[in-house]
Structure 1
Amino acid sequence: MRVGIITGSGSYVLPHVADGVPGRVVTRFGTAELTRGTFAGVDVVYVSRHLPGHRLLSSQVRHRANIVALAEAGVDAIVAVTICGSLDASLPPGALVVFDDLYFPSNRLPDGSICTLHDDPGASGRGHWIFDLPFSQPLREALLTGARSAGYAARDGGCYAHTDGPRFNTRAELRALMQIGVKAVSQTAGPEIVLSGEAGVPYALLGFITDYANGINPDDPTPVDELARLLDASGDIVADVLAATLPRIPPAGLGPVGTRLSWD
């Protein structure tokens, strides 16, 4: 089995990757930077969304290139991590959540174009991704078990909302998201979820809460220095959870999420 790993802010290098070989891959959607190696005894292909030094802001991440490069590298699944702001007072900074639903109605890439791999009229395989819930349940279960094994409690389920960055959200925007049941927000994972679904690669998302989003807990807002501290701490915690998760991913029964209505 080969697993794709995507990390975001605070996790720019995946530690303890044996025989890691970094390289650039040219896709029809641009260049992706991958590291191939072994992590926790599993064959992995690793992507840092923002690149070391946070070179790419959320509005500059190359989502289509990253997902196509991982698919072409032959990954059987993608496990991704995002740091996020909590919209639920019972989900405090430092908490983990394994999401089970998505709010991303704009379905847009950072440049404003539609989030899809099907941008060429008449191309083979063009079509619609049809699903109930967007995340792979076997991958979700592996993340939940892996987190517990690594000594961390993780919330089982919750709706993730993708919002466009790089600015953070206003209180009014967040109140609207709370009304529809969103539990946490960040600025990067929405396109990955959609593109992985179109590519037929099962995907799961682990959230690391770094702050209460704007106005969610007005009596105890998260100071910027605390947010920065948790960003720094997230790298080690994420690595621990991933190391416990990857060996638990079941190779049997792991398949694409939903179905694709396509025209060839």
Structure 2
Amino acid sequence: MSTSRIAYAVIGGTGLYQLPGLENIERVSVDTPYGKPSGEVVCGDFHGRRFAFLARHGENHSVAPHRVNYRANVHALHQLGAGAVIGVNAVGGIRDDMGPRVLVIPDQIIDYTHGRLSSFCDVEGAEVQHVDFTEPYTSALREALREGASRAGVTVVDGGCYGATQGPRLETRAEIARMRRDGCDLVGMTGMPEAVLARELELPYACLALVANWAAGCGDAVEISLEEIFAHLDAATAHVPKILATLP
């Protein structure tokens, strides 16, 4: 593999299984102390910098949210020397200004998941870390994404609370109503433990959330259509390379 420093690693969610525009590609199989990641890490040149890309669910979308080996994914990017990690996540919109096709850079998260291996401390003999998670996303990386979107002419919503649920099923109307009362603006299935694992490794991390649908009971939809979800995701995903191309 090239010894060039990887400036950014991108973890692609539903609908983003490769990074368009990546050149001089090398596919790297990484073994980690926590097992295999979701697939090979694809490294290449992207607008003058070295990028790495990993499909969170596998390139064929074969790994469900609750079965993702988040520890292996994050540690693999750390092993490759990534300078920062950007998680691209498909989400449902709860807040009125976060409807389908909107891009959001959240600043907070609430974790509703259960049973996931959520720390590198979860191995015998490991030193227990009590990391500060007051601000779950790295402010400088969030700012870079905001400025990048502005330069690319892409509208994004700055800030918002991501509620991470277990999946793979979608949520009930009552669950979304509860999450709204809790202060959640978005709902997704993969935001945690990815964010906290990056924090344990002192890896700068931010989320670029793509709204694929209104969450249950929000907006005008009576029922959530998977066909509409993927149409909205396709439209939102098209903006991601534009933003990444302008990062410093």
TM-score (norm 1): 0.86
Can you give the 5+ residue segments of structure 1 that lack an aligned partner in the other structure?
249-264
1:24-173 matched pairs, under 5 angstroms: 24-32=29-37, 33-106=40-113, 108=114, 112-123=115-126, 125-173=127-175
Greater shift in the superposed pair: 57-66 or 154-163: 57-66
1:13 maps to which residue?
A: 18
Greater shift in the superposed pair: 84-93 or 235-244: 235-244
What is the deviation of 1:219?
6.0
Greater shift in the superposed pair: 40-49 or 207-216: 40-49
Can you give the 5+ residue segments of structure 2 that lack an aligned partner in the other structure?
none
Q: Verify the 8 A CA contact 1:136 1:203 in the aligned structure 2.
A: yes
Amino acid across the alignment from 2:155: A
What is the deviation of 1:221?
6.1
What is the deviation of 1:140?
0.4
Alignment partner of 1:176: what SS?
Answer: helix
Amino acid across the alignment from 2:164: H
Amino acid across the alignment from 1:193: A
Q: 1:168 to 1:222 in 2, by over 3 A?
A: closer
String of CA shifts for 1:111-161, please: whole Å, max 9, x gaps: x244101123433x4321113211111100111111122221111100111
String of CA shifts for 1:51-95, please: whole Å, max 9, x gaps: 222121212222110101111111111111111100112211111
TM-score (norm 2): 0.91
Distance 1:172 1:238 in 2: 32
1:257 maps to which residue?
A: none
Distance 2:24 2:195 in 1: 28
Amino acid across the alignment from 2:121: H
Say how many residue pairs are matched: 241
What is the deviation of 1:23?
2.2
Q: Verify the 8 A CA contact 1:11 1:234 in the aligned structure 2.
A: no
Distance 2:157 2:223 in 1: 21
Q: 1:220 to 1:90 in 2, by over 3 A?
A: farther
Distance 2:108 2:202 in 1: 18
2:180 maps to which residue?
A: 178
Q: Verify the 8 A CA contact 1:212 1:221 in the aligned structure 2.
A: no
1:23 maps to which residue?
A: 28
String of CA shifts for 1:200-234, please: whole Å, max 9, x gaps: 10100011111100111246766443212112233
Q: Verify the 8 A CA contact 1:89 1:212 in the aligned structure 2.
A: no
Instruction: Give identity over the alignment, percent.
Output: 34
Amino acid across the alignment from 1:188: T
Q: CA RMSD in A?
A: 1.7
Alignment partner of 2:229: what SS?
Answer: helix
What is the deviation of 1:105?
5.0
Distance 2:226 2:84 in 1: 34
